Amino acid sequence: MGKHTIFFHNAPSIVCTYSAAGKKESEGPIGSLFDYVLEDDYFGEKTFEKAECKMLSTVIEKVIKKSGYRKSDIDALISGDLLNQIVSASFAARDFNIPYIGIYNACSTLTEGLALGATLTDGGYMSDVIVATGSHFSTAERQYRYPLEFGSVRPPQSQWTVTGAGAAIVSRKGKGPKITAATFGKVVDYGVSDANNMGAAMAPAAMDTLITHFNETGRKPDYYDLIVTGDLGALGSRILKHIISQNGYEITDNHVDCGEIIYNIDEKEYQGGSGAGCSAVVFNSYIYRKLKEKELNKVLFSATGALLSTTTTQQGETIPCISHAVALEND
Amino acid sequence: MGKHTIFFHNAPSIVCTYSAAGKKESEGPIGSLFDYVLEDDYFGEKTFEKAECKMLSTVIEKVIKKSGYRKSDIDALISGDLLNQIVSASFAARDFNIPYIGIYNACSTLTEGLALGATLTDGGYMSDVIVATGSHFSTAERQYRYPLEFGSVRPPQSQWTVTGAGAAIVSRKGKGPKITAATFGKVVDYGVSDANNMGAAMAPAAMDTLITHFNETGRKPDYYDLIVTGDLGALGSRILKHIISQNGYEITDNHVDCGEIIYNIDEKEYQGGSGAGCSAVVFNSYIYRKLKEKELNKVLFSATGALLSTTTTQQGETIPCISHAVALEND
């Protein structure tokens, strides 16, 4: 066994998922699969931040309801988001009488959470946990870039932060696609400093984790029906395929990036979607359904995160990135 | 077994700790126990933020050296801090070729990390992990309150964010005080909205977790030689003792708060220390040494976190709080 990859021998399963997304996201290629679509980006709240929090609350509450569980069946909520101090997750957790484990690895928070949820349940410490993440275009823009009112022009290498959230129940005893292994990523920094070019910054981190996973498990890329990355976007995905090929691994035939498939091909989004909500809505709708219906039986899911802040960018730092992978398999 | 409390039957131990703190902290009652004292708050860097990151890097590197381990012996770094996007932890992680699990529950991040570290090692998924947290007075002031240059007057109920960091190695196989159980807290919000009165906001969260721990384990407060809270400060500690007594539990004789013992009694700090670095330096020096030398044999350590951000405060929200507890015991 390698040191970055851990195996779950009791094979905890994902028994239920729930996704909520914005109107724009619902008009994309997989929009019809979302459980819930927001009427507008305020979601009945006075601020975008409160709307983001309400999205997370909603998916947590609804996944419990959809699964037939009671709130008291859930042993922990593992959650994070992109806002400062992950306040959307923390304020959403306030609505539930459930132990709360706050996590943050930017847009790789979802797979970090699935890996920790699998550990807690596989090890017999807990029975059922919820993993929930999300993001909101308007809160991300004003926190990381410019307020929308500023009317900033977006460069062609940029991506569009997804307004959406997703929740999954990881269970020791239930039925569903199993989490069989996880590869925790390390921080990788190739020196990219353009906060508008996340795909280029994150591609090497995705490659590092995928290659580590292949080496430590002895599996080749074609072991998996699909290798899913989180939000590299179109440019980042091309970079990943190119550099991983240079290192002797071919994933062109079975790779898809959540950021590439969430929006229609449209000039305004340039490289596609990004944000913790991007992989959250795509995984918890499209990918999960394909696993559940056994159209896919082996999926490697490696969400990618850019670990910058506005302060580090202003202080001239480059962008450290990370990617955590989980292997999902049907019996 | 209760639902919030998990037990570690393989009893992972804390085999080594390392603490680094500022000059001011080194002049307090336990200052002589710190492994490393910064000459000044810049720590040779150009910004306070870079200094905070360097403190974390330093304690991680030094705890490995002090323990006699090699870097390659460490299976994961579990880390978080108080800066936006936990950049101190993420940038520190960049210096190490180790899987990185970013976490955030404000000043309860340390016990959240110890609980997750214990889970990963106890369950046999990993052998040795480092848990590291920290904070810096000057970065916290400018992010959460006012830049120091503003010369803002501090109200008497305020606390002083500790400049310091600590790291601990949690090991499946080594020798040292054992982590025998963890109680994950839920979010508690009693409606306090004064960001200068964290002790009052956090005391109910500490009480909730302590009472949950006592109920689920069947232990009474006097089972423990010491019950340690993270950074309630003097006022918050008095509130905790009062409200937990009203609920039938007496902890007056064996409770201490890290924020109360880190500074000399001095008007300028008012209620004492706070910040993720507060419990990090006190636990990884004073408390750990007392456990190691068997002056203490049973310690319940419940660090407390206030899950606010400047945005939530500006939007009129109250302060949700949380506390995670770990039980530390000698054989």
Measured between alpha carbons, how far is B114 from B182 in angstroms, rounded to an integer? 9
pLDDT tens for B203-227 read: 999 999 999 999 999 999 999 999 9
A-chain CB neighbours of B86 within 8 Å are 104
A-chain CB neighbours of B209 within 8 Å are none
Strand duo A321-329 + B5-7: pairing = unpaired
Q: Return the residue in B49, B95, B100 with the most chain A beta carbons within 10 A, the one to mutate for interface testing.
A: B100
Q: Return the residue in A127, A312, A322 with the most chain B beta carbons within 10 A, the one to mutate for interface testing.
A: A312
pLDDT confidence of residue B1: 41
Nearest to A320 by CA among A189, A160, A171: A189
CB of A94 within 8 Å of a chain B CB? The answer is: yes
Q: Distance (Å) from the C-alpha of residue B16 to the closest C-alpha of chain A?
A: 21
Nearest CB to A315; choose among B50, B75, B84: B50
Measured between alpha carbons, how far is A211 from A195 in angstroms, rounded to an integer? 25
* Lookup: tokens for B21: 């703190």
Measured between alpha carbons, how far is A143 from B311 in angstroms, rounded to an integer? 10
Residues in CB range of B228: below 8 A, 6 or more apart? B255, B256, B257, B258, B279, B282, B283, B287, B299, B300, B301, B302
8 Å CB contact between B77 and B100: yes
Backbone angles phi, psi at B265, to 5 degrees: -70, 115
Residues of chain A under the 50 pLDDT cut: 1
* Residue B120 CB neighbours (<10 A): 28
| B147 CB-contact burial (10 Å; exposed 0-12 / middle 13-18 / buried 19+) | exposed
Measured between alpha carbons, how far is A94 from A81 in angstroms, rounded to an integer? 15
**pLDDT value at B8 more than 50:** yes
DSSP string, B55-87: HHHHHHHHHHHHHT--GGG--EEEEEESSGGGH
pLDDT tens for A298-324 read: 999 999 999 999 999 999 999 999 999
Task: Kindly list the distances between the CA atom of residue B48 and the CA atoms of A11, A308, B135, in Å, as whole numbers in the listed order.
Answer: 45, 17, 10
8 Å CB contact between B115 and B303: no
Considering only residues 65 to 84 of chain B, which have any Cβ-Cβ distance to chain A shorter than 8 Å?
72, 75-76, 80, 83-84
Measured between alpha carbons, how far is A78 from B106 in angstroms, rounded to an integer? 15
Burial B237-267 (b: 16+ CB within 10 A, else e): bbbbbebbeeeebebeebbbbbbbbbbeeee
8 Å CB contact between B269 and B27: no
* Domains of chain B with bracketed CATH: 5-171 (3.40.47.40), 178-329 (3.40.47.40)
Question: Cβ–Cβ of B6/A311 closer than 8 Å?
Answer: no
CB of A91 within 8 Å of a chain B CB? The answer is: yes
* Lookup: tokens for B324: 């995670």
Question: Cβ–Cβ of A3/B75 closer than 8 Å?
Answer: yes
CB of A147 within 8 Å of a chain B CB? The answer is: no
Considering only residues 269 to 328 of chain A, which have any Cβ-Cβ distance to chain B shorter than 8 Å?
307-312, 315, 317, 320, 322
Backbone angles phi, psi at B218, to 5 degrees: 75, 10
A-chain CB neighbours of B3 within 8 Å are 72, 75, 99
B-chain CB neighbours of A6 within 8 Å are 120, 125-126
Q: Return the residue in B42, B83, B125 with the most chain A beta carbons within 10 A, the one to mutate for interface testing.
A: B125
Rg (CA), chain A: 18
pLDDT confidence of residue A1: 41
Find where tokens 């870079």 sit. Answer: B50
Measured between alpha carbons, how far is B297 from B286 in angstroms, rounded to an integer? 14
pLDDT confidence of residue A78: 98
Nearest CB to A85; choose among B90, B103, B308: B308
Which chain B residue lies closest to A181 (C-alpha atoms)? B125
Nearest to A288 by CA among A203, A174, A169, A185: A169
Q: Return the residue in A85, A116, A141 with the most chain B beta carbons within 10 A, the one to mutate for interface testing.
A: A85
A-chain CB neighbours of B312 within 8 Å are 49, 85, 87, 91
Nearest to A191 by CA among A310, A323, A318: A318
pLDDT tens for B129-173 read: 999 999 999 999 989 888 888 888 888 888 999 999 999 999 999
CB of B93 within 8 Å of a chain A CB? The answer is: yes
Considering only residues 174 to 203 of chain A, which have any Cβ-Cβ distance to chain B shorter than 8 Å?
184-187, 189
CB of B90 within 8 Å of a chain A CB? The answer is: yes
Q: Can you give the three-state secondary structure of chain A, one letter per residue?
A: CCCCEEECCCCCEEEEEEEEECHHHHCCCCHHHCCEECCCCCCCCCCHHHHHHHHHHHHHHHHHHHHCCCHHHCCEEEEEECCHHHHHHHHHHCCCCCCEEEECECECHHHHHHHHHHHHHHCCCCCEEEEEEEECHHHHHHHHCCCHHHCCCCCCCCCEECCEEEEEEEECCCCCCEEEEEECCCCECCCCCCCCCHHHHHHHHHHHHHHHHHHHHCCCHHHCCEEEECCCHHHHHHHHHHHHHHCCCCCHHHEEEHHHHCCCCCHHHCCCEECHHHHHHHHHHHHHHHHHCCCCCEEEEEEEEECCCHHHHHCCCCCCEEEEEEEEECC
CB of B96 within 8 Å of a chain A CB? The answer is: yes
Nearest to B33 by CA among B280, B244, B215, B289: B289
Q: Distance (Å) from the C-alpha of residue B106 to the closest C-alpha of chain A?
A: 8
Q: Return the residue in B90, B96, B136, B141 with the most chain A beta carbons within 10 A, the one to mutate for interface testing.
A: B90
Nearest to A113 by CA among A282, A260, A279, A291: A279
Backbone angles phi, psi at A200, to 5 degrees: -65, -40
Residues in CB range of A13: below 8 A, 6 or more apart? A170, A171, A174, A175, A176, A177, A178, A179
pLDDT tens for B266-295 read: 767 789 999 999 999 999 999 999 999 999
Nearest CB to B86; choose among A3, A90, A104: A104
Q: What is the ipTM of this complex?
A: 0.97
Question: Cβ–Cβ of B123/A126 closer than 8 Å?
Answer: no
